[in-house]
Structure 1
Amino acid sequence: MPLDYKSLGLRCGLEIHQQLDTGKLFCSCPSQLTEEKPDFIVRRELRAVAGEGGEVDIAAKQEQEKGKYFLYEGHTNLVCEVELDEEPPHQINTKAMDVSLQVAKLLNADIPSVIQVMRKTVVDGSNTSGFQRTALIARAGILETKDGKIKIENISLEEDACRTVKEEKDYHIFRLDRLGIPLIEIGTAPDIFSPEQCREAAEKLGMILRSTGQAKRGLGTIRQDINISIKGGARIEIKGAQDLSSITKWVEYECLRQITLLGIREELKRRALKKIDLKESFHSLSSLFAQSPSKIIQTTLKNNGIILALALPGFAGLIGKEVQPNRRLGTEFSERAKVKAGVGGIFHSDELPNYGITVEEVKKIRELLKLKEKDAFVLVCAEKSRAEKALQAVLERVRETFDGVPKEVRKANEDGTTSYQRPMPGSARMYPETDVPLIYPHLEGIVLPELIEEKVSRFIKDLGLAKDLAENIAYSPKAFLFEELVKRHHSIKPAYIAETLTATLAELRRTYQLDTEKIADEHFKEIFHHFAEGKVHKDIMIPVLIDFAKNQFNIQRYAYFSTEELHKELQQIIKENAGANISALMGAAMKKLQGKASGKIISEMLKELIKEGH
């Protein structure tokens, strides 16, 4: 049954993060990623410290407690000492600043007369300095949607973090190439009241950012974070929601999750259970499992690990309750243990016997823990200190069930569900960046770009494009090239140019598995110039583009035949196909001479030669 979001009291807010293609924010390094072998690797450890207010941020503290070290891979042509935090930041990238001011004006936001770059504490290793530089560009903007206005609370310009290469229990490998790429962050107020409005808002903000012509394209260049709460629940931040088509599902599934967690809270009340009754009392069951057939347990014991148990009075039947599709309350317990202690997961009584743990072993566990019928338990298999830390994390999450929905940051999964990532960060994470001077924005020279949705209307009205084709080319990275080619070549239909830059490129990727990024704008300018000059025929566009992609284009291969050359070739075709009718000869001629002459000219000359008796 569909959810009634109005009665649920759904409140949503969005944070959009868009990379800019302007070079890095605080140095002159290119904003380019690479998969090549690194030139160097640097090792670092980061520690959470008290800010100016004397408090240590809760999220920063949790990261430090993991005890990880960090390895940073770098390339000398893509990073410098600024990314390594060995040199102060340079002057802020003025092009990136101008783009962010354009976006602020497009959203009718208030731009301050002075902009201060700040430091935001980040100790998950994704920034070598332990903080991210960010500048508030504007506030109090407005985004129009079909279901009403959404307030824009802030527009910021900040530096992107390192890329994750590999994550292990004790260390994390990052790549420095992404660190410092400019990001525009747009944060809305919680004025979104349905999954559909959430998607529309994300699409519209993405359209505005792309309208600047400076937004990077491709996977990972734009990221959406979604803040969601319902009546009686709590604000949850879903990180990394990249797929626009899945936004409605993420919102729906988080509503389901909060409804279920609130229901579990009420069930705990009905069972007369209290948070205070949960004791931090862990029981070693290693001797009980000495002969267990479970491979997981035997591997743990062989590696000098232990089997540790936590009793949960009154929780029977609740741990296995589904909170999102194929995810249970026990999944949330397990994720907390994985993140905070680095264990592989947990077992709980609602899913046992299973995983090689027998009915008899479950019975013995319940006897040793002195459990009643409605009591539950959790098991963890790990090295002693890690196992203890894991059960402490589980106990923390169990206690939170009495409050309903815990405030936390969750990771977006591809199937629309979410996973625990970290606690909601505190407010003591920002302080001024003293290495970057105050910025006084100059608004007089900021020219607003044409919005893509306006461009679509113009392409339909002025160029006669069909709506779908107009949208495809307007949203494509080739939109500016399209307009340039249309202005240059009045003899070529705009629809043909648009089809070539969209559908034809898609066909090359899909059918021929070609990297169309190798076909530069200059290649398109060259081939359309030849078409306009009448040197080649447009029917051979795909072979020409294939040659460009393979770096083997030669105009002589595709140039039109002279009348004499065409006459000679057709005579040879007639000779090789003696006795064939006109239709068969035409087929053979078109196959051999495609692109060397138009079909009309070939047909006329072929008929003339047959008539002459050749």
Structure 2
Amino acid sequence: MSTDATPEYDHEELGLVAGLEIHQQLDTATKLFCDSPTTERDPDEADRSITRRLHPTKSELGELDDAAMEESRVDREFTYLGYDTTCLVEEDDEPPRRVDEEALSVALQIADLLDLSVVDQAHVMRKLVIDGSNTSGFQRSILLGQAGEIETSEGTVSIADLMLEEESAKRVEETDDGVVYSLDRLGVPLVEIGTGPDIRSPEGAREAAERIGMLLRSTGAVKRGLGTIRQDVNVSIADGARVEVKGVQDLQGIEDIVRGEVGRQAELLEIRDELRERDASVGDVSDVTDVFADTESSVIRGALDAGGKVTAVPLFGFDGLVGREIQPDRRLGTELSDHAKRHGAGGIFHTDELPAYGVTDEEVDALRDAVGADPADAVAIVAADPETADLAIEAAAERAETAVEGVPEETRGANDDGTTRYLRPLPGAARMYPETDVPPVEPDPSDVERPELLDEKAERYTEEFGLGAGLAEQVAFGQRFPLFETAADRGVDPTFAASTLESTTTEIRRDGAPVDALTDDHFLALFDLVEEGDLAKEGVPEVLTTLAERPELSAAEAVEAAGLSGVSEDEVREAVVEVVERNADQIEAEGMGAFSGLMGEAMGALRGKADGEVVSDVLREEIGKRS
């Protein structure tokens, strides 16, 4: 969503309060509670699947979590894809093993960077999860640290806690029966970092997330790429309510989501005030199938012909407000529809948008008569199979009732356009209970070293290796800074190594090369060939492209495959002489002024087979002979 399309609000006047929850996968060898690798797999590689149905359970206090209860009303089955690396722990057929030491060590480094107080003894807890994303029906979570802080340009942001958790299973697809998940991601170590409610602007939320992300990457032990880090944003305004928006994928998205949620809550409060002035209320649900017995609306006709029915709820005093926009292209009616969709309905129709969709004026009048609605009232309807229609209209009615109260506390999902949609109620404490299969651990922060921050690393690269500030920052904040340091320690020219790892890989990626297939060994072997004179620097992009497309090759084999085997000085001179003789008139007229243009032509003729300095020396010599 473009911020230009969003109305401007005075965030200070509205009393904006925001906090973040950052979820970051750790780049460890094995998973948090078993020895399976943390490598992502292609679902097509799955060699088996299991199917489960999950149900909510009571906490040790005998309470049921509201979010879990609502999720359980949606009748779905869950299918899990397993691989040759999937173990019994991931399938929930064996108890979890002890906490992974590597994951614990990285998490303690992160705790140090966030100035957190580490707990003396860490206990594994079970967090109830009923959406199918864990085969066991719960996620294992460990509180490691509390009471930290980070500094931003808008002031200190407190860090409430650091959790070490197991990642959920990866959603592959939704089917008519339920959801298909992949078990390759389930159990990957994950840290969850929660800030205090100290953020007061959209820009401040983005800056805090950026700072935390930099600290996480400074460990050199977090996964990178799409889906490996997720940001949830908690937003509220004065007289509004705490709303958790899940699944924000990027930093700009955080800023847009905060702005959009402020606007949504402000609009909902204005709707609340108007509803109260009208003494609005929600009536009883009723069956209005007879009203649409002869309808030509394709949606309603399709539901009725399939044995369904139409249910309705009168919204007294709601006329004109159900269709009021609260976010771009989203209205109060959209909120009601989101709740109805949770129970399998395609959505709702309401009288603020009717007649439309094949529903006639006469049917709208008959609908109002059937439920006792006046012109000042609105009516919402659902057409679906009988069970779905009943559940969906009840859900829509409940959401309409909360509109009279104001802004409901809830969990929402981030949309790609910067708006949000309803997911479920906010979870409560009833979803947590102790894990009995894993003993407590006693973390020792003194066992880990504080990592160098990425901005400090960039400064060191400039001072120690002579890199330009821009290139130093690219390398330090990139994914391959450990590889850069290894190459520099082996005597590779630092500027050449840095530009290859960052600039060259970016260039060939833009040209379509699958650079993610390149390994550290590919780069180091390539650097060795250049240092030994077996490959000209000018040939590096072509060889890297070959390796990316055929990663099974060695660097030397890729040089051969790219046709870039080294040439002798005699062959270089022969190629240069051809270029010089072809451009004899230009040399006679310009002398050494022709050098730059002919240099490019000579390098092109040699196709990266010769070092640029050698070609330059020979070219200058040959031009000198003729001028």
* 1:129-528 paired onto structure 2 within 5 Å: 129-168=136-175, 170-273=177-280, 275=281, 278-285=282-289, 287-339=290-342, 341-489=343-491, 492=493, 494-511=494-511, 513-528=512-527
Residue 9 of structure 1 is matched in structure 2 by 15
Please say if residues 537 and 611 of structure 2, whose CA atoms lie closer than 8 Å, have aligned partners that are also in contact: no
SS at match of 2:115: coil
Once the two structures are superposed, residues 283-335 of structure 1 have per-residue CA deviations (whole angstroms, 9 ceiling, x without a partner) of 323x3323323211221122111122211111101101111111100000000
Please say if residues 283 and 310 of structure 1, whose CA atoms lie closer than 8 Å, have aligned partners that are also in contact: no
SS at match of 2:366: helix
353 and 464 in structure 1: CA distance in 2 versus 1, 3 angstrom threshold? farther
Residue 595 of structure 1 is matched in structure 2 by 608
Q: 1:57 aligns with which of 58, 65, 69?
A: 65
394 and 169 in structure 1: CA distance in 2 versus 1, 3 angstrom threshold? farther
204 and 280 in structure 1: CA distance in 2 versus 1, 3 angstrom threshold? same
Q: CA deviation at 1:468?
A: 3.0
Q: CA deviation at 1:72?
A: 1.1
198 and 446 in structure 1: CA distance in 2 versus 1, 3 angstrom threshold? same
Q: CA deviation at 1:573?
A: 6.7
187 and 462 in structure 1: CA distance in 2 versus 1, 3 angstrom threshold? same
Residue 529 of structure 2 is matched in structure 1 by 530
CA distance in 2, matches of 1:170, 1:402: 35
Residue 78 of structure 2 is matched in structure 1 by 70
Residue 20 of structure 1 is matched in structure 2 by 26
Counterpart code for 2:498: A
- 1:44 equivalenced with 2:57 (yes/no): no
Please say if residues 34 and 89 of structure 2, whose CA atoms lie closer than 8 Å, have aligned partners that are also in contact: yes
Please say if residues 316 and 350 of structure 1, whose CA atoms lie closer than 8 Å, have aligned partners that are also in contact: yes
CA distance in 2, matches of 1:465, 1:612: 38
CA distance in 1, matches of 2:598, 2:225: 47
Q: CA deviation at 1:369?
A: 2.8
TM-score normalised by the chain length of structure 1: 0.93
Counterpart code for 2:524: K
Once the two structures are superposed, residues 224-267 of structure 1 have per-residue CA deviations (whole angstroms, 9 ceiling, x without a partner) of 11111111111100111111111111001111111111111111
Q: CA deviation at 1:548?
A: 1.6
The 10-residue stretch of structure 1 (356-365 or 215-224) with the greater mean CA deviation from structure 2: 356-365
Please say if residues 118 and 432 of structure 1, whose CA atoms lie closer than 8 Å, have aligned partners that are also in contact: yes
Please say if residues 538 and 609 of structure 2, whose CA atoms lie closer than 8 Å, have aligned partners that are also in contact: no
Residue 117 of structure 2 is matched in structure 1 by 110
Q: CA deviation at 1:535?
A: 3.1
SS at match of 1:456: helix
CA distance in 2, matches of 1:508, 1:578: 32
SS at match of 1:137: strand
Please say if residues 285 and 311 of structure 2, whose CA atoms lie closer than 8 Å, have aligned partners that are also in contact: no
Please say if residues 324 and 417 of structure 1, whose CA atoms lie closer than 8 Å, have aligned partners that are also in contact: yes
CA distance in 2, matches of 1:283, 1:606: 90
Counterpart code for 2:106: V
Once the two structures are superposed, residues 335-375 of structure 1 have per-residue CA deviations (whole angstroms, 9 ceiling, x without a partner) of 00111x11110101111122122223222322333321101
CA distance in 2, matches of 1:585, 1:231: 70
571 and 317 in structure 1: CA distance in 2 versus 1, 3 angstrom threshold? closer
CA distance in 2, matches of 1:410, 1:114: 34
The 10-residue stretch of structure 1 (519-528 or 594-603) with the greater mean CA deviation from structure 2: 594-603
604 and 433 in structure 1: CA distance in 2 versus 1, 3 angstrom threshold? closer
SS at match of 2:528: helix
Q: CA deviation at 1:117?
A: 0.6
Please say if residues 535 and 609 of structure 2, whose CA atoms lie closer than 8 Å, have aligned partners that are also in contact: yes
CA RMSD of aligned residues (A): 2.2
TM-score normalised by the chain length of structure 2: 0.91
467 and 4 in structure 1: CA distance in 2 versus 1, 3 angstrom threshold? farther
SS at match of 1:317: coil
CA distance in 1, matches of 2:498, 2:216: 22
SS at match of 1:138: strand
CA distance in 2, matches of 1:223, 1:413: 14
Unpaired runs of 5+ residues, structure 1, are none
Please say if residues 411 and 423 of structure 2, whose CA atoms lie closer than 8 Å, have aligned partners that are also in contact: yes
Please say if residues 114 and 438 of structure 1, whose CA atoms lie closer than 8 Å, have aligned partners that are also in contact: yes
Counterpart code for 1:534: G
